[in-house]
Amino acid sequence: MTHALAAERDALPLVLRPAGAADHPFIVDSWLLSYRGQAIARDAGASYVRDMKWLIRRLLERGRVLVAADADEPSVIWGWAATGDRTVLYVYVREQFRRNGIASALLAPYLARPDVTYCAKTYRDITIPRGWRYSFLAAVRIASE
């Protein structure tokens, strides 16, 4: 489903749409690069890129990815969220568009649910909804299904 909405703070004209194959290179690269500062990535060393690309691609095949794009140019991605039924695998918003309600728009179906597992948190100042639980291994489980 594609629909337009204005992000709360700056009234950004964006559209939420399912990711397509043409979006995958950006999604893989932004996921890989934004996550590489985490301890799990640093500890993996040289194998991080190879192993994480495999994991991300498997998750893209098995999960859902919703893209927040420019309403006037829907191929211009401002952010995206990769999810499963009760799992938030990863959320990414381009730095210049953060703090504009884009992540909240992407995660709207999950925000009121107390039974959600999230697989990554890369910034300390992000508030995780009450009742959500962390498990990186949930991503591994989904990739292995």
CB 63 within 8 A of CB 82: yes
> CB-side exposure of 36: number of CA atoms within 13 Å?
14
- Whether 142 and 63 have beta carbons less than 8 Å apart is answered as yes
pLDDT band at 28 (very low <50, low <70, confident <90, very high): very high
pLDDT 10s digits, 83-115: 998 999 999 999 888 888 899 999 999 998 889
Alpha-carbon distance 103 to 80, whole Å? Answer: 8
Residue 78 has pLDDT above 90, yes or no: yes
- Class of CATH domain 3-144: alpha beta
E strand spans, the chain: 3-6, 13-18, 64-70, 77-83, 87-93, 117-118, 133-134
Tokens of 79: 């952010």
pTM of the model: 0.85
Q: How far apart are CA 90 and CA 30, in angstroms?
A: 11
Q: Which is nearest to 29 in space by CA: 44, 46, 49, 13?
A: 49
- In whole angstroms, what is the distance from residue 140 CA to residue 36 CA? 17
